[in-house]
Structure 1
Amino acid sequence: MKNRGGWMNMPQGIPNCPPGLEYLTMIDQLLVHQKVEMLEALTGFETKNKFTVKNNLGQKVYYAAESNDWLTRNCCGHLRPFDMKIFDNYKNEVIHLHRPLACDSCCFPCCLQSMEVSAPPGTIIGSVEQEWSILCPSYAIKNASGETVLRIEGPFCTFSICGDVEFKIMSGDGQVQVGKISKQWSGMIREYFTDTDYFGISFPMDLDVRMKAVMLGACFLIDAMFFEKTQVEN
């Protein structure tokens, strides 16, 4: 890997790997940084979210951009449906995320949150599905066949009060922690006057690249559900 602060070089000669996911073969940690939108900070109107995804050396791996309309973003708030397009250094869309409109209340277990992950776009490689839970958020990470490969267990309290918020990545049977998604404290000004977020994702190096991509989708779903409330909602 070269060019610290630039783009990560793509590994070559990776067999049976969806195009654009080669980067993930060499990664066990991703850092997700949301771009500060000044219009949103000044007016309170929700703008399209944009993110930079980096490795632990600070090299860019992907760039992600939300796709939906102004009315949906500002009327549906943190429950809004969206598509997220994830691009590589060559501006190719290599991962596509789709989040349908749904509720997140424990009172309606038949209509919970989900995220469909495709790589390349049009080829489903897995999904993130919220599981019914009263106290702590819980998700099943499934492969293209609908089999649960991993689980995510969230904390009882998801408020970021001068500290990180950790979601544990567990084995499929829920017995062993294999990684985590952490919402990182970004400072008083950012936390209270913008919805700009910082996340860290860690997972086993030998995890299938498709599941690593699904874990990235899980990070965006968690961000949307718990850390994207607009000033109007607040």
Structure 2
Amino acid sequence: MEISHRIYVSGYVPPQAPVMMPVPERPPGCPPGLEYLTQIDQLLVHQKMELIEAIFGWETNNQYIVKNSVGQQVFLAAEETDFCTRMVCGSMRSFVLHLQDNTGRVVVTLTRPLKCSSCCFPCCLQELEVQAPPGTPIGYVVQNWHPFLPKFTVQNERREGVLKIKGPFCACNCCSDVNFEIMSMDETANVGRICKQWTGILREAFTDADNFGIKFPMDLDVKIKAALFGACFLIDFMYFENNQNNK
């Protein structure tokens, strides 16, 4: 007779399965996978901390868990770049980010081309393309030249400006959150925020694993919500990816 044995270790808490967000009904015209965004006005983005980065400083592909405001998992995001690109180009590297829903289906692809970066030259501006489903562009995030402020324009699939994003004069998050305000095109109304959250002195000093919060209007077009989601990742790479090396 086979006897099963269970060993319980004092203080050990078994890992908990993530709580998934229920799949809402997809409205007409909504790209597959973006139906989750129809019922969301906030997203929480948690970058997974990689031990090899903290110990050796070797840049690995970024991975993120995306949750709604009540902690339910909405998406998983994973970067796709090769080792040489990560080590040579660092935070300015080109990348492809794949967003999977809770069934493992890739529903959004974020693509950043390789461009030089210099605030002194208007020709050296960053850009991100948002595709949903993969292969179908639904929005863009384009950096705007400004002598001292981080500024971006969120565009729809026709390259028409819809929203602006304006960051602070200094993106250094010394013991505090860093807010990037989401504004109307004329910059007279604040409609949301992308917030780089302070994660504590040890994590900030030794890793580039960041946490972000994104807030936008509930009735905003899901394609623009996805573009703002993409803007969060572009901001992470541009201003916070190598922050542990700058302290």
- The aligned counterpart of 1:63 is 76
**RMSD of aligned Cα (Å):** 1.4
Q: Structure 1: how far apart are the matches of 2:165 and 2:242?
A: 21
- Work out whether residues 78 and 97 of structure 2, in 8 Å CA contact, stay in contact via their aligned partners in 1: yes
Q: Is the partner of 1:214 in helix, strand or coil?
A: helix
Q: How many percent of aligned residue pairs carry the same amino acid?
A: 55
- The aligned counterpart of 1:179 is 192
Q: Structure 1: how far apart are the matches of 2:85 and 2:48?
A: 20
After TM superposition, the structure 1 = structure 2 runs for residues 22-37 of structure 1, keeping only pairs within 5 Å, are 22-37=35-50
Which one-letter code corresponds to 2:61 in the other structure? Answer: K
Counterparts in 2 of 1:17 and 1:193: CA distance versus 1, 3 Å: same
- TM-score, structure 2 length as denominator? 0.91
- Work out whether residues 67 and 84 of structure 1, in 8 Å CA contact, stay in contact via their aligned partners in 2: yes
Q: Is the partner of 2:55 in helix, strand or coil?
A: helix
- The aligned counterpart of 2:201 is 188
Counterparts in 2 of 1:187 and 1:232: CA distance versus 1, 3 Å: closer
**96-105 or 160-169, which moves further after superposition?**
96-105
Deviations along 1:118-156, whole A, 9 cap, x unmatched?
000000001000000111100000000011000000000
Match of 2:149 among 136, 155, 161: 136
1:53 paired with 2:66, answer yes
Counterparts in 2 of 1:121 and 1:214: CA distance versus 1, 3 Å: same
Name structure 1 gaps, 5 residues minimum: none
Matched positions, count: 231
Q: Structure 2: how far apart are the matches of 1:13 and 1:177?
A: 28
- The aligned counterpart of 1:112 is 125
Between the two structures, name the one with larger relative contact order (CA 8 Å, sep ≥ 6): 1
- Work out whether residues 78 and 230 of structure 1, in 8 Å CA contact, stay in contact via their aligned partners in 2: no
Name structure 2 gaps, 5 residues minimum: 1-16
After TM superposition, the structure 1 = structure 2 runs for residues 1-234 of structure 1, keeping only pairs within 5 Å, are 5-229=18-242
Task: Tell me which structure has the larger Cα radius of gyration.
Answer: 2
Which one-letter code corresponds to 1:208 in the other structure? Answer: D
Q: Structure 2: how far apart are the matches of 1:75 and 1:186?
A: 27
